[in-house]
Structures are given as structure tokens and as C-alpha cells.
């Protein structure tokens, strides 16, 4: 297992350094219109795009049960 797999955050509350993005995604997860939204994550390499996308996908498939 590689380090990025071992220490990758699993929940939005565990993400460090992207407070604005985390707050926005957390608000959207709790909104009624979340099912109709699409997201575009962009940024430089190492900014957490894949981690946030994985957390978001997990929240959608589990019905937002990770709060």
C-alpha cells in the first residue's frame, strides 16, 4: 500500500487545506438539489482533486451517510 492510499482522507471533515471547497461541498451534500448538480474540480497537481472526488462519489452512493 502506498502512502497516498494509506493516509488519504475518507471524509470531508478529515480534509485539510481546502476549507472553502469542503464547506461548499458539505453545503451541497445537504441541499435538496444535490441530485441535479454536476461538479468540475480543477487545480494544480497535488491540490486534492481526486480525494475530494472520491469523497463526493462515496457520499452520493451511500446516500450522504458519512456525515
Answer whether 29's CB lies under 8 Å from 62's CB.
no
Q: 32 is written with which cell numbers?
A: 435538496
Identify the pLDDT of residue 10.
92
Global pTM value: 0.78
Average pLDDT, the chain: 84
Provide the sign of the torsion angle of the four alpha carbons 25, 35, 43, 52, taken in this order: positive
Identify the pLDDT of residue 20.
93
Coarse DSSP helix, strand, coil percentages of the chain, rounded to the nearest 5 percent: 50, 0, 50
pLDDT digits (tens, 9 = 90+) for 42-55: 999 989 999 999 99
> Coil, strand or helix: which one is 56?
helix
Report residues of the chain scoring pLDDT below 50. none
Amino acid at each position: 500500500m502506498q502512502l497516498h492510499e494509506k493516509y488519504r482522507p475518507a471524509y470531508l471533515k478529515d480534509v485539510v487545506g481546502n476549507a472553502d471547497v469542503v464547506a461548499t461541498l458539505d453545503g451541497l451534500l445537504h441541499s435538496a438539489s444535490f441530485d441535479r448538480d454536476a461538479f468540475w474540480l480543477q487545480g494544480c497537481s497535488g491540490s486534492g482533486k481526486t480525494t475530494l472526488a472520491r469523497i463526493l462519489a462515496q457520499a452520493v452512493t451511500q446516500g450522504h451517510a458519512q456525515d
